[in-house]
Structure 1
């Protein structure tokens, strides 16, 4: 159930997962999706791309009121290639085939615009997947879950059965690194559920 409390933060994302993660740490949000061009620039590294997109989303969502604004982005990287959201079933299966039986990186970046300007962080997590059979990929696509997920899978959903383990932040793979995000929010004067004073 979503919080009906007065919003403390503007979330520049339509992602229900990010909204739920913020609610879980006591932050009520006003959802204001930012629509930006998410294309990778020439010679732009995955690290630079995910950080830039988080910042641009926060900037696009800011300025419509006094609330601090959070933008975030997540990318899946395998062999230096950025895996975005699948265009169709064939694309999703190609990505899952590349991830099958090996490790890949998931990078999430967060930008929060508030009284202290723009504060940012980026988190990388190593995800290890078991071998995924072609029939499993087809069945997974049929669930509808992979369609709007970076890398063509959702670690918090049915694809959990494909993930052997991860090294780093689980919430970052879902879409928002909560430990680091909490630090940014406190620095911008936003109190969390625990009542700890914001960072001075």
Structure 2
């Protein structure tokens, strides 16, 4: 059993895929990049902050002590974190920037287990085929890009945009399962 410091349906789906029992306890922390912070350092810190926040809640509320999983995923193009779309114009602008280009998807996880931290970072490279303005507009109108890092969901209609993926499909979805399984095995083994 773990606490998931996220309300993401995609992360929940991936945990179910692994057969991991979990309780959702969103962290609701403010996600703001610090001056001079690299994209990799940022996603690792946000994942850690989420896990620490929920670990404190668990202690304060006297809940059963289980590992806490925090995660963060960001789409990075030319060293810039693109974030989630603020509105339709921003979302379509992000998609125009990604079209015909290769970008990075950084997916960090942090598991807190009885005051011990286990972190991992997965980096994937995703290449979009060229997209027409009509395709971008039609995709936006599906509602799928709303609230998604980089304004797309690999597990949805945007799968047709992806010409090449080097890395972790689950990491691009928001939870790198290989790294998570490795950490969970370590925590079950008493921190080996």
TM over 0.5: yes
TM class by shorter chain equals over 0.9
**Structure 1 unmatched runs, 5+:** 1-7, 190-196
Residues 169 and 177 of structure 1 are in contact (CA less than 8 Å); yes or no, is this contact kept in structure 2? yes
For the pair 1:18 / 2:11, whether they are aligned, the reply is yes
Cα RMSD after superposing both structures: 1.2
Distance in 1 between the 2:80 and 2:48 partners?
22
Once the two structures are TM-superposed, the CA of residue 62 in structure 1 deviates from its matched residue by: 1.1
Distance in 1 between the 2:131 and 2:115 partners?
46
Q: TM-score under structure 1 normalisation?
A: 0.90
Distance in 2 between the 1:22 and 1:182 partners?
10
**SS of 2:111's equivalent?**
strand
**Structure 2 unmatched runs, 5+:** none
Structure-1 residue corresponding to 2:77:
78
Q: C-alpha deviations, 1:63-82, integer Å up to 9, x for none?
A: 31311100000000001110
Decide which structure has greater helix share: 2
Once the two structures are TM-superposed, the CA of residue 115 in structure 1 deviates from its matched residue by: 3.5
Q: TM-score under structure 2 normalisation?
A: 0.94
Distance in 2 between the 1:88 and 1:45 partners?
25
For the pair 1:47 / 2:40, whether they are aligned, the reply is yes
Distance in 1 between the 2:190 and 2:21 partners?
16
**SS of 2:145's equivalent?**
helix
Distance in 1 between the 2:111 and 2:25 partners?
14
Structure-2 residue corresponding to 1:125:
124
May I ask how many residue pairs the two structures share in their alignment?
186
Q: Which runs of 4+ in 1 moved over 4 A?
A: none
**Which stretch of structure 1 is more off in the superposition, 95-104 or 111-120?**
111-120
Q: C-alpha deviations, 1:143-185, integer Å up to 9, x for none?
A: 1110110000000111001001100111000000000100111
